Structure 1
Amino acid sequence: MRAAAAGPAPGPGEMAIGVAHAGGPWGDVMARDGLLPPLRPFVPGFDVSGRITAVGEGVDPGRIGTPVTALTTGGARAEVVLAPAALSLDIGSLPPRTAAGPGRGAPTAYDLINTAARVRPGESVLIHAAAGSVGMLAAQFARLAGAGRITGVAGSARRAPALVAEGTVRVDVSAECSREGLATAVQRLAGGATHGKGVLRIA
């Protein structure tokens, strides 16, 4: 039987997490393709779920053993990873596999809808690249914010079914990722140029 190796020691404001699941965000793909310079030595993984195994100065020792999800600067695909306590959330009874999924996409989508765009009940929302992780989460946050009409722009019809399955997004697959296509989609969302509506906010 192999003895377990000692994990990294958390510094002030950090916690060590015994990894149960690690997400697969686009940042991992970029790092492995050499498009995002990684820290060396490189261990992939930015999003993680698991149980807290140790805490550093300034973190409540009572959290040891608590199941959490967290954002890290890398290394989430190791057995133990360090994460800032400020970027961790207790997950309660949520399955760890589910908790590791949203990663950075969830706070990004939340901020786009609630902080940058400040979506209000009844407003119409256009989500570009709606079939991606941030786009799909943004549609859900827009629905929770009370948006009256949510239109998702997808680059191809094959990416539309997942959005339609949500039951909240009308998908426009005619608008490609060009300036002209997006302009057409915005006009369609506003009901046409003769309706006197315009774009209130761009996030």
Structure 2
Amino acid sequence: MRAIQITEFGGPEVLQLAEVPEPVAQPGQLLIEVDGAGVNYADTHAVEDSYLSSSSLPMIPGGEVVGRASDGRRVVALTATGGYAERACAWAPMATEVPDEVSDAAALALVIQGLTAWNLLRTSARLAPGESVVVHAAAGGTGSLAVQLARRFGAGRVIATASTKEKRELALSLGADEAVDADPEGLKDRLVEANGGKKVDIVLEMTGGPVFDASLAALAPFGRLVTYGLASRAEPKPLTAGALMGHSRAVVGFWLMHALGRPELHAQPMAELLNLVASGDLVPQLGGTYPLADARVVHEALRSRATTGKLVLDPRR
């Protein structure tokens, strides 16, 4: 079958279209005929072996697929790896049936990015009604859903950041109260100003480096910064217990893998998100569907922040 395979770690240039053996489902797994494979920023880390979990070679990247299971059901599933291919295997508990009203791309937008946004707000930040929420990269797959969910979950003020005017306008159209430039220079002051001159309660942060530092400085007492990525590939300044205690603020890490196997953090939120999309109450932003052979081009665009919304590879093209 056709798949994107890497035989060495590196940037987008290592993504190669190849003929590989068919996957064989183990007991408890589903074999899925892939109609679409989701592309996530985490995939760029996996390809260069800089992710939280180590990768091994040769590897077919891709952690999420939508398609037909061997029993005929249309499902969206987490696969860990192997998604950028014509067929993939997933453990049965990691697959969710997709309502007819939900498109392939919309379903893919939920399985990692939607679940991440839900858990960032509900599980890690523990958003309380009326609290202010900063969503970085608000035009991206996770950020655009987090803006909508924060509003739905009762946030008092939603502040988005994005790198361009067009992306900031998109965030405002999704329900953000304010949208500010994501440039780290002066970011803390812009966040406080956008919150009416007060420091903020919650920040969802996935850039690292100086953006993390500015976000932490903008936190109010008892505020929570939830970190779930290092898109800049730069670590923030070291933190000390005294720095946290002195401002009564918290830094919480989140990795979706720790939510899997816990129905209240995975299966139940996934059903909720799919129902919200089916009813039109949640609108995933779709960034485009590309032929499987264009995986390298998609990774290049993703790393350069030239994309918005959910990106999908179609192995049928």
TM-score when normalising by structure 2: 0.51
Q: 1-side partners of 2:42 and 2:220: how far apart? A: 34
Report which of the two structures shows the higher radius of gyration computed on alpha carbons: 1
2:68 maps to what in 1? Answer: 51
Q: What displacement does 1:193 show?
A: 5.2
CA pair 91-160 structure 1, distance change in 2 beyond 3 A: same
CA pair 201-89 structure 1, distance change in 2 beyond 3 A: farther
Aligned residue among 33, 51, 57 for 1:40: 57
- What value does the CA root-mean-square deviation take over the aligned residues? 2.7
CA pair 169-72 structure 1, distance change in 2 beyond 3 A: farther
Q: What displacement does 1:177 show?
A: 2.6
Give yes or no for contact 2:129–2:153 (8 Å, CA) kept in 1.
Answer: yes
1:74 maps to what in 2? Answer: 81
Q: Secondary structure at the match of 1:102?
A: helix
1:99 maps to what in 2? Answer: 107
Q: What displacement does 1:112 show?
A: 0.8
Give yes or no for contact 1:190–1:198 (8 Å, CA) kept in 2.
Answer: no
Q: Are 2:41 and 1:17 aligned? A: no
Question: Which stretch of structure 1 is more off in the superposition, 21-30 or 138-147?
Answer: 21-30
Aligned residue among 188, 196, 205 for 1:191: 196
2:293 maps to what in 1? Answer: none
Q: 2-side partners of 1:119 and 1:193: how far apart? A: 17
Residue identity opposite 1:45 in structure 2: G
Q: How many pairs were matched up? A: 184
More strand by share: 2
Q: Are 2:183 and 1:176 aligned? A: yes
Q: What displacement does 1:110 show?
A: 0.9
Percent identical across equivalent pairs? 32
Q: What displacement does 1:79 show?
A: 1.7
Residue identity opposite 2:120 in structure 1: L
Residue identity opposite 1:124 in structure 2: S
Q: Are 2:121 and 1:113 aligned? A: yes
Q: 2-side partners of 1:137 and 1:46: how far apart? A: 19
1:153-172, CA deviations, whole angstroms, 9 ceiling, x for partnerless residues?
Answer: 22332421221221444201
Residue identity opposite 2:56 in structure 1: L
Q: Are 2:130 and 1:122 aligned? A: yes
Give every structure 1 segment of 4 or more consecutive aligned residues whose post-TM-superposition deviation is greater than 6 Å.
none
